[in-house]
Structure 1
C-alpha cells in the first residue's frame, strides 16, 4: 500500500497536492558524520531535530533491489540512452561497494523493477508527461526528478527516476549516481561549499562520479551491514 510519496527535483512535496519546499539545507564547514547523516536522511540541521521521518527499503528488499528502465520513447536521443545505461551500471557498482546492507542489480527481462528510470522526451524546465504516474506527470523537471513511495511502516515500496533528455553528456554520470543514491531514502541535499566536488549530495556541484567518504558512511548508517 503506497501511503506516502516524496518528490525531489528542486521542489520537495508530500503527495501530489502538497505545498512545495526546497530540497536542500544550507550549512557551513565540514559536518560531523552524525550531522551529515541526519541531514540527508531526516532533513535535520546540525544540532536540530529531524523534520521528516526516515524511510528505507526493508532489510529483505534492500538485499535484492532491481533497477531497470521503462520503455524508452523513440524520440529520446540514442547517444543519451547509451550513456544513461552505462551510468546506471556504474552507480549500482558504487552503491554496492559502499559496505552497506544493500545489493542492487539490473532488473531481469520482464521483471518489474523496484527502481525505474524513465527517459522522458522532455527538456529541463518542461513538465513531465507520459509516465502514467500520479504525482510525477505534470511536475516540472530539472536535470532529473526522483519520486519515492513508502508504506505505513515507512518501508520504501517503489522509486521512479525521470531523466531530462537534454542533460550534457558530462553530467549524466553524476546525476544518475545522485538520483539512485537518493532513491535509497537519503532525500535531502546539502548547500555547503565544503562538499562541492566531494559529495553526491552537494546542491551546487554536479561533477561527483564516486561516492564520497561521508556518502558511503551515510549509506552504511541507513543500512547497517550485517554481522558475519
Structure 2
C-alpha cells in the first residue's frame, strides 16, 4: 500500500498550508528540522509523519531523467542535467547513511525526474502519473510515496520549461532534497539567502548549515 505525500512547489503559489510554514527570524535547530521534516510550526506539533528512504542492504537510491520531450529547451535540459550531478554530490557529502546515484536506466529509478514542455501555471498532463494529472505546476513539483513503515518507496519530480538558467542549481537541489522526505518549505525572510528550503527564493545553490543539519539528522538512523 502506498501513501501519498504533499505536492510541493519550488516557487510561491497559492497552495495548502502544508506546503510551507511561515515564521520569522532564525529558528533553533529543533524548530528548523521539525518544520522541514514534519510540517511543525516553531514549538508546535508535527502536521505529518517523518518519512525517509531506508534502502535494503545499504543500496544506493537511484535517480534518473525520464525521456525528455523534443520541445523542451535544450539549454535548460543541459543545465538541469549538470545541476543534478552537483546536487547528488552535495547530498552524498551530508547524509552519510544513504547514497544517491544517478542512473540512465529511466524505468528502474527510485526517483524519476520529468522535464515537461509546460510553464508555471500550466497543468501537468501525459507523464503517466495519475496523482499528478491535471495538477498545476510552479517551477517544479515533488511527489513522494511511502509504505506503512513510513519508508519512502518512490518519488517523482517534474520541472517546467521556463525555469531561469541561473536558478537551475537551486531548484534541482531543493527538489531532490525534498525527495528525501524533507517535504515542507520555510516562508521566512531570514532564510531567503540561507536555506534551500526558502519558499520565496531560488537564490541558494548550496546547502546551508541548517539544511545540512536537517538532512543529517533525518538520516542519522537510516540503517
Q: Does 1:176 align with 2:172?
A: yes
Q: Is the 8 A contact 1:11 1:21 kept in 2?
A: no
C-alpha distance in structure 2 between counterparts of 1:47 and 1:77, whole Å: 44
C-alpha displacement at 1:137, in angstroms? 1.6
Measured at CA, do residues 51 and 88 of structure 1 come closer, stay the same or move farther in structure 2, by a change above 3 Å?
Answer: same
C-alpha distance in structure 2 between counterparts of 1:121 and 1:161, whole Å: 14
Q: Does 1:129 align with 2:130?
A: no
C-alpha displacement at 1:163, in angstroms? 0.2
Gaps of 5+ in 1: 13-19
C-alpha displacement at 1:115, in angstroms? 0.5
C-alpha displacement at 1:6, in angstroms? 2.7
C-alpha distance in structure 1 between counterparts of 2:58 and 2:138, whole Å: 28
Match of 1:166 in 2: 162
Q: Provide, for residues 156-201 of structure 1, a one-character-per-residue CA deviation record: whole Å limited to 9, x for no partner.
A: 0110000000111111110000000000000011111111111000
TM-score (norm 2): 0.92
Match of 1:117 in 2: 113
Match of 1:211 in 2: 207
Aligned pair count?
220
TM-score (norm 1): 0.91
C-alpha distance in structure 1 between counterparts of 2:18 and 2:196, whole Å: 17
Deviating above 6 A after TM superposition, structure 1's stretches of 4 or more consecutive aligned residues are none
Match of 1:43 in 2: 39
Please report the RMSD computed on the Cα atoms of aligned residues, expressed in angstroms: 1.9
